[in-house]
Amino acid sequence: MLPLARNSVLRAARAQILPSTRTTTAISSAAFARLLSTLAVLEQRDGKIQPSSLSAIAAAQKLGGPITAFVAGANVKATSAAEAAQIKGLDKVVAVENEAYEKGLPENYAPLLVENIQKGEYTHVVAGHSAFGKSLLPRVAALLDVQQVSDITGIESEDTFVRPIYAGNAILTVQSTDPIKILTVRGTSFQGVETSGGGAAIEAGSDPKAPLQTEWVSEELAKSERPDLATAQRVVSGGRGLKSKEEFDRVIVPLADTLGAAIGASRAAVDSGFADNSLQVGQTGKNVAPQLYLCAGISGAIQHLAGMKDSKVIAAINKDADAPIFQVADVGLVGDLFEKVPELTEKLKNQA
Amino acid sequence: IPTKQVKPRVNKANTGVETAGVKHSLNPFDELSVEEAVRLRERHTKKQSPIKVDQILALSAGGPKCADTLRTAMAMGADRAFHVDVGDSPDGGPEPLTVAKMLQAVVKQENINLVLLGKQAIDGDQGQTGQMLAGLLGWPQATQASKVEIKDESGTVEVTHEVDGGVETLRAQLPMIITTDLRLNEPRYATLPNIMKAKKKPLEKKTLADFGIEDKKRLKTIKVTEPPARQGGGKVEDVDGLIGKLKELGAL
């Protein structure tokens, strides 16, 4: 209380003594806001904006200044660009229609972005830290001779950003001295974009038509009706303790169904083939921050904690009372998961 | 004749934090890169791969401890190594863009046509170097590879790599850049005889200046802090207790 009061008294006094200083700051920050201009690179697939893109826009909004969204692919003007134009707070949408960009391959997408960044004289370029952003933006940064800042979780000012390092065991605040700031942003840290009510104009971007050196052969995506792991409100996650894929499916899936939750897994569970790669939560998998993260048979290695410790409430079921997961769990239950999880599922079902 | 290069980036301690004296090891993703390079060579010997891997060069930039990680890479099967000495710095060593520029120079100088890198170092967690290098060289790139297959003698490579929600397969022509993901392979242990042999393999000491690169810092570390600690909320006796507590916390 006391330091706070002193601080404000001091500030008030300073303001009276040095009114000119205040004015100057105000002017320069206003000038700065005018100069700042951000390009949010949107990921689209089959004409639909991908959720990671919304976090790019949320971060752009935090930076202040006008925001342009960028989207490229087959027939995007009528589809994903039109969808983007509805997002609140965008100045315009730059769209490049060309089948060649549909898969978002960095070999031709990076030169495309570079040309549009230079043309638009943007000071900031933001994309989600998804597979698309991770693969594309460093290439763009290198072409622009800029050192990118990856996976940011906070914006302190137009040139100062916060990002976790060492699997989230330390938080680094860095200042970029580059003329263009290239950023990828962590989805769980930037949210709250309104996807309707906007009315941005769609403009055609320039297309350098750089040759594509890679050929897209095929893809295999895990199909599911469940909420997307990265953005789900609830996540039920299983680890090595599940012992087999059959047990994983028998124990974890019904609980996730009952809770309407996405399914996650530890690296051990993925490596043992219990669950698909795309479900891995952790430093080298997905980062999640749901309202509820309920895990069973996960010991809580730091690499796993890196991916989920920003969850609102963490609940853990593990038979080892000394498992590190209990040090971060808000609620811990020591017991055999093969008994406890089905019991929990039953009881939750009966309550619903 | 194709040459392979592997760049293990050391799991270098501290970025202004208190990690001095911690155990250093080869960045796990880079171990995978070394392993994959060695396997590509072995597959040719077993006639499963059409292209001969002539040489595997391991490279690491960092302080004096890098030499150990490079010996490990050579014990796994790399032929020779470059240690680019950048001194032990408290701020995590050269930035990815600088490393990428250095690698660009190495690639040109050593006439390399495939560069395997880890998808990210587990200290800086930036995940940029491979893509930057590909951009600088104008080569195709495949990030987060889980399967690498050389299809023919002209150097067509098919890479299956991890994307959000699954995998995607790409085809490109050498020369190219591949960054490795955990599921690519299971790195071998270096056996004692191989460790002994590795001691005789050439390890050249270099500096950034040898490649005409300046260690320019574009990012200034303002501070490194501890993440807010999370306090466990204690344990409950049974499933009813669990449900009760979750309700209390508003999670159900």
For residue A343, which residues of chain B lie inside 8 Å, CB to CB?
239
Of A215, A321, A330, the CB nearest to B249: A330
pLDDT at A263: 96
Q: B141 and A147: CB-CB below 8 Å?
A: no
Q: B222 and A160: CB-CB below 8 Å?
A: yes
Judged by average pLDDT, the poorest of A169-183, A249-263, B77-91, B125-139 is B77-91
Supply the angle between the helices A51-63 and A131-143 in degrees, to the nearest 10. Answer: 50
Residue B175 preceded by cis peptide, ω within 30: yes
* Residues A144, A157 contacting (CB under 8 angstroms): no
Of B141, B142, B233, the CB nearest to A331: B233
Best to test chain A binding among B139, B144, B174, B218 (most A CBs inside 10 Å): B218
**Is B154 touching A (CB cutoff 8 A)?**
no
pLDDT at A20: 43
CA-CA distance, B116 to B4, in Å (whole number)? 8
Q: What is the pLDDT of residues A269-314, one digit of tens each?
A: 999 999 988 899 998 889 999 999 999 999 999 999 999 999 999 9
pLDDT at A278: 86
Of A147, A321, A327, the CB nearest to B95: A147
Of A171, A278, A313, the CB nearest to B224: A171
| Side chain identity at residue A156, one-letter code | E
Best to test chain B binding among A53, A137, A213 (most B CBs inside 10 Å): A213
* Residues A149, B220 contacting (CB under 8 angstroms): no
Q: What is the pLDDT of residues B70-113, one digit of tens each?
A: 999 999 999 999 998 887 665 667 899 999 999 999 999 998 99
Q: A173 and B125: CB-CB below 8 Å?
A: no
CA-CA distance, B126 to B10, in Å (whole number)? 14
Residue B25 confidence class, pLDDT cut points 50, 70, 90: low
DSSP assignment string, A108-175 = HHHHHHHHHHHHHT-SEEEEESSHHHHHHHHHHHHHTT---EEEE-EEEETTEEEEEETTTTEEEEEE
Residue with the two structure tokens 């730091």: A302
For residue A131, which residues of chain B lie inside 8 Å, CB to CB?
143-144, 162-164
For residue A52, which residues of chain B lie inside 8 Å, CB to CB?
164
pLDDT at A34: 54
Q: What is the pLDDT of residues A40-84, one digit of tens each?
A: 999 999 999 998 899 999 999 999 999 999 999 999 999 999 999
Nearest to A206 by CA among A334, A101, A90: A101
Contacts of residue A201, defined as CB under 8 A and 6 or more positions apart, other chains included, come to: A85, A92, A93
pLDDT at A5: 45
**Is B125 touching A (CB cutoff 8 A)?**
yes
